[in-house]
Structure formats: structure tokens, C-alpha cells
Structure 1
């Protein structure tokens, strides 16, 4: 592997790893001041647990030998002893760390749906099992030779396009988030406007870190290609779709509520990043710009669904990641370079995109619901109401996010 590719692989992996603290900042600013430690710990807990599981057996599961295999054999090379000593160890291990960062952030994203009311230990149990039975196999389906990667060839249609994780990351996490929101139920006093973000600058910092890291997220896999020919297009699309989504969200917010907000701008940026993830290498910049506008506008409306349908997705993981992931994945069916319905192709691309998107959505939702329900009915997933009302940082973690000293 060329030294430039190696350098980019390490850099991109570091960028994507940094995105999980970005999620922690983004989510942390949106919750109550007395819940910020709990919220951020769910992301950092995922960093610790999922990293270890990925190296022990997750990477082994992320590539299949047969198209219709559920996953790879988790014990084929436990803890990567053989991989680390093989002739191609250097390049292979770069793939390990890059893949690990995707697994980590996918799990961390789910936590926003259960903010202010989840036990940390129960969350960690859920995270470990869900990663094992959902994320690791889905990664194999999408990128590791599984049925989604091979779907087009199997049914005589164009191949599924998901360059950086619209299905494996965002739809996957968003569906699991919806399941957990239903299992844990509504927060005490759930209503529109019940809780205001306690630290808007922290949320903006988080969104900025995410945008920064997302260039590694979207373009990182180019280290596998000689000369990295797709980096330029991916980088431009990551910039412009995100920028356009900010505008789309703010316009809807202005028309709907009368004022464009800072949290709206941050949320719009994330919605654009989510939508461009699967499409970053397969759209011209003009269509990427339109995708951003659509994602920002639609997600700004989609976050209201929880009030209409009665589920409490605390930090709008469903409205941004599930909806944004669906938009970006299905949009390729219309505008993907050469194969989209309006760019030289036919309905085939849309068909395979939809099969992949809804296949992952249904599988992730069902497994997450069963797993969350089992945890809730055994050891309990939700904190006591009195701890929720008081703020769960002290009750769960024995500390507070802010210590205000008063003079005597």
C-alpha cells in the first residue's frame, strides 16, 4: 500500500473516532444540565466496549464467505492473532481500526433516543449485544460480501449503493433508537417544549466536530483504492450537502416557528451529513446540494412526528438519522450517477436501494425492541422517576457536570 494511502487511513480513522466525542458534545448540550454526564458517558462507554468487541470478534463477523451467510465466523481469528502476524498485516490492521470507528459511532448514535432516563449498566449490556447481533452482521451484509452488497447481481439489477453507511450506520441506529424509545416509554411530563437545551454552544461544538470528522467518515475508505480517485468528489459533496441542509432546516424552522435557531442550524448540519453518507461518491455536486436541502427541510418536519405519534425520541435520533438515512439511500435511486432514474438509469437502482434500506430497518428495529424489552423486564433499563426528575448524573454516575461555587 502506498505511503500516502497509509497516512490517509490513519488520519481518517482518527477523524471518525473523534466523531464519537462529537456526538457526546452534540447530545450533551441538548439535555438537562443534571443529565449531561450521563448522556456523554453513553458515548464514551460505547467507545470502550465496542472497540474491544470489534478487535476480539466483531471484525471477523464483518465479512462473509457466502452471499447469504448471516455473518463471518466470530471465532475464526479471535483477537486477530493470525491477522496481526500475516504478510499483509499492516494494511489489514488499518482496515480493522477504520471499521472499528464506524461500529463505535453507530452504537453511540442510538443513545440520544433514551436520554435523561436510561441506566448506564443496562445501556452497556444493550450496546454489546446489539453490536454483536445487529451491527457486526449488517456491516457484513453491506460491505463484507453479504446479501446487500451482492443484491444487484443476485436479481439482475444495479448494485446497492451505500458508500459510507446510510443503511449500516444511520438507518440501523435510527431503527434501534425508535425501538428503545418505545420500550423505555415517555419521559415524565413529556410534551413539546418540556426541556430546553442546557448548553447550546456545546451542541454547536459537537456539530462542528461531527462535520470535521465526517470528511474521514465519508472519504476514509478511499485509502483502499490506488490513487484515491474519489476523494475530491466525496469531499465536495460532504461540504455542500451539509451546508445546503443547514439552509433547508432554517427555512422550514423560520416558516414553522417564526425564528431560525442555533440548535436548528446544528441539527440541519447533522441531517445533511447523514443524508450524504450513502451518496457521497455517487452524486454530482448539484444533486448533492439538492439532497442537502431536501434532507434539512424534511428532517426539520420529521422531528415533530414524535409528538403526533406519541413516542419519546429525546434527541431526535429517529427524525434525523432514520429519516435522513432513508432520504439519502433512496435518493440515489433517482439521481445516482449513470444509474439513477433521472440520470440515465431506470427503476432498478431505486428498487435495490429500497430493499436494502427497509431490510436493515426492520431487522434492527425488531432485534433492538426484543433486546430492550428483555433488559427492561429483567434488570430494568429505565431509572426511577424521582432520579429522572432530579437529573440522573448524581444517581447513576455519582457526579455532576457543573460544580458552581458560591461565595460566603
Structure 2
């Protein structure tokens, strides 16, 4: 890959995740402060990610893989996304906000696969080259969070004056830039013939259900769905929680989670090869439980370190479980079900698991609402911690120690 191509792909990743990080982290805070949304409405807004993840295989499988160049679809989606982001910036109530957000996420979620496809198409050895491109996406997410806090949009004064709404305008502008830039990316033609018969089971990854015949993989699959329930609490509640208890520059501080994600991504291969899949996944689930305990007992004063450690554990939680899970899934799938298996695990986690999690987080947050803008956060955070412990115990009891062999079905 030439340096020029590498730079263009890195910039694409940077913009892709800058757009997402511009609004996703602070959306819960924005909805409560700017639109007066209730906890159930906030959970409904976050669930649009799950709806997008469920619908994404149809868009990528039916359109991108068969009819149009991936970079052109990416460009069109982000141009439309810029318009939708501006409409969200202009929204005055939740009833007008939600349908626009739903339309946006149905369009946006497939772009996560499209940017990967465009990148892989230029690589001779994705295993070695992709991480150096993908890391710029994480840097883009970090940059968005730091910029929001640097501009004080998430400060007490910023919330009072409605400045947090500028995140949507920023996302709109960057989405416009990415939309135009996408048409300059390397050509990524359709991978399949438009005349080939389309199988719904392949689009949704249902062909890979045969993998569930393996007891260990079935236990891992169910654990993946269940662990997404406490994960949804973090995405939905972390920003409102930190803002409500008075943590300054909370959005910037939350980028510590993405910084740790980069570091633990580098540590993962060493840990994985030395301790194996079971211990790696156990460490991830244990980190989830500890993180929420720290959130439950931390505060904005003398125990702020607990909140910062809890945020920093995001790297362990995400990389050690989801990235390891992708490797484990690839090892079990072999060549026959490689794409279907990854599609199925994504549908199950980001689709089904987090959909349940966002709903549960909304119901529990509303239950522990003391007064408008004031929650019993200790009780709220102890619930996902408890769920994490239960999933951990289930996994330890039923998942047998196993060595994995990449590119093959292990016996």
C-alpha cells in the first residue's frame, strides 16, 4: 500500500469516528438538558443504534456488495447524514428528534462495514496493516471528545445556555466533509455479481448458526448477548451521570476510555497467546463488574479517581471481550462461515443484546429518579455490575478451557 493511499484511508477512519464521537457520547446529556427528554426516551434514542445494526446487513449485502462501489455509497450516505444531522441540530422536541435520529442510524451503521471494506480492498495483509489504519478512527473519536470539552459545550454554563446542541452542527459539517472526500477514495467495486441469487440467511449471518452446535461456542455466544446489557448502561448513562454529579470536562475525560482501548489493543495479542481465550474473556467481564462498582462509589471530589479508573477500564472491557470474541468466532467459523459468523455475532450483540440493554437502562434509570435531574446513581450502577457478575459466573461454570486454531474449526 502506498503512503498516499494509507493517508487517505487513515483520514477516512478519522472522520468516520469523529462524526460518531461528536454526538454519541453526549446525546444522553443533550436530550435531558436541551429537549427535556425522560429516561425512557433517552433509552429509545440510543436503541436506534441496535435498529441500525439489525438493518445494516441488508444495505451492505443487497446494495454495496452487488450494485455500487463502496466508496460512492459511503459518500452518498454521509452527504445525506449531514442533512439529517442539521435537522437534529434544529430539533426542538423529542417527537421531532427521534424519527430523524432513527433514519440517520439506519444509514450510518452500514458505513462501519463500508470503511472496513474500502480499507481491506487496498491491503495485501490486513492482519498486519488494518490496525494501523483503524487506530485513526479511535483518534478521531478522542479528538471529538476533547474538542467538545475544550469548547466547554459540556460545562455547566454550556448546558445552561444550550451550547451542547452544537455537537450536532459539528457532526453535520464533518459528515459533509467526509461525504465529499469519500468520492476521492480508492475504487472498491462490488464483490458479488448482481445476477447472483440473494440468500436472506447469508445476509443476516444465519448460515453460521451451525456454529452453535459447538457447546463452547454456544456458551460464548449467549454470554456475548448478555454482557451487552451492562455495556448499554455505560453508553447511555455515563455522560449524564458524570454531568449530573458535577464532573468538569466530562466528555474530554471519557476519551480516557478510547486511549486505554488503543493501549489494550496492543497488549491483547500478548495476553491472548499467553493465557488463552477463557482467561481473556474472564478478565474482560470482571473488569465490567469492577468498573460499575467504581462508578457506584465514586464522586466528583475525593473519589474522582474511581470514576477515572472506571472509564479507563473501557479498554479492557471492550478489547478483551469483543476483539477476542471476533478472533474466537473467526477461528470457529473457518472459511465457509467466516463472513456469516461475524455478521451473526454483530447482529446478536449490537442488535439484540444492546437493544435489551438500552431498554433496561432506561427503565432502571427512571425507577431511581429522585427528582428531575437527580438520580440514585449508586443503585443504578450496582445493577449492571451485578449482571456482569452473573454472566461471568455463567461463563466460568459452563465454558471449558479451549485452544483455538485460527482459520480452522477447532475440535
TM-score (norm: length of structure 1): 0.32
More helix by share: 2
TM-score (norm: length of structure 2): 0.32
